[in-house]
Amino acid sequence: MFRLSGSSLLVLASACILSAGAATAQTKIAIINTQKALLDTAEIKKAQADLETRYKPRQDEIAKLQKELEDIQRQLQTLGDKLTQQAQADLSIQGQRKQRELRRLGEDLQVDVDRERNTIINKSSRQMQAIVQKLAEEKGLDVVIDVTNTVYAKPDLDLTKEATEAYDKAHPVS
């Protein structure tokens, strides 16, 4: 084993830094906010609108059930002592059933929306990745880094808007 003096260590560290600096000066880098680039595409905006339209009847049904449940709860609070025990029990049971139905419908809706949204996002993410790769090759970039992992970057290194535009051009919405 050998030992380096403090000054030898400093010279070695400086040489490594200078060597690394020379290598990074030749590397062309860009950044992208992949999530924003994807969410700003016409395809994703249309898919979101389609999802909202497709699931609106189920959301309306949930809203109706919520109103019915609120009405039952209001009746129990305002008329509770004026109702017979049997009427109170019936309203409570009816409220519990509506609550279970509301929970089940909400969970089912959430599962269906999440599944469809994930399918859309996964497909679009793969397509966006191909777009970013093509942009990087066209611009002669060595590395494209997502902003979520970036502490600082000059704004002119950002490919986000350009990636969205290229995506919309490559995948037009009909």
Give me the CATH number covering residue 79: 3.30.910.20
Question: Which range of residues forms the domain containing residue 69?
Answer: 29-170
Among 64, 54, 70, 68, smallest CA distance to 109 is for: 54
Q: Reduce the DSSP state of residue 160 to 3 states and report it.
A: helix
pLDDT value at 101 more than 90: yes
Residue carrying structure tokens 């290229």: 166
pLDDT for 11 beyond 60: no
- Contact assessment for residue 30 and residue 159, using Cβ atoms and an 8 Å cutoff: yes
Residue 160 is assigned to a structural domain of this protein: yes
Let me know if residue 113 belongs to a domain: yes
> 13 lies in a domain?
no
Q: Please give the model's pTM, rounded to 2 decimal places.
A: 0.71
* pLDDT of res. 96: 96
Domains held by the chain: number: 1
Q: Please determine, for residue 18, whether its predicted confidence score (pLDDT) is greater than 70.
A: no
CA 31 to chain centre: 18
The amino acid present at 150, given as its one-letter code, is T
pLDDT digits (tens, 9 = 90+) for 22-67: 454 589 999 999 999 999 999 999 999 999 999 999 999 999 999 9
Q: Where are the beta strands (DSSP E) in the chain?
A: 29-32, 143-146
pLDDT digits (tens, 9 = 90+) for 115-144: 999 999 999 999 999 999 999 999 999 999
Phi-psi region of 140 (alpha: psi -120 to 50; beta: other; left: phi over 0): left
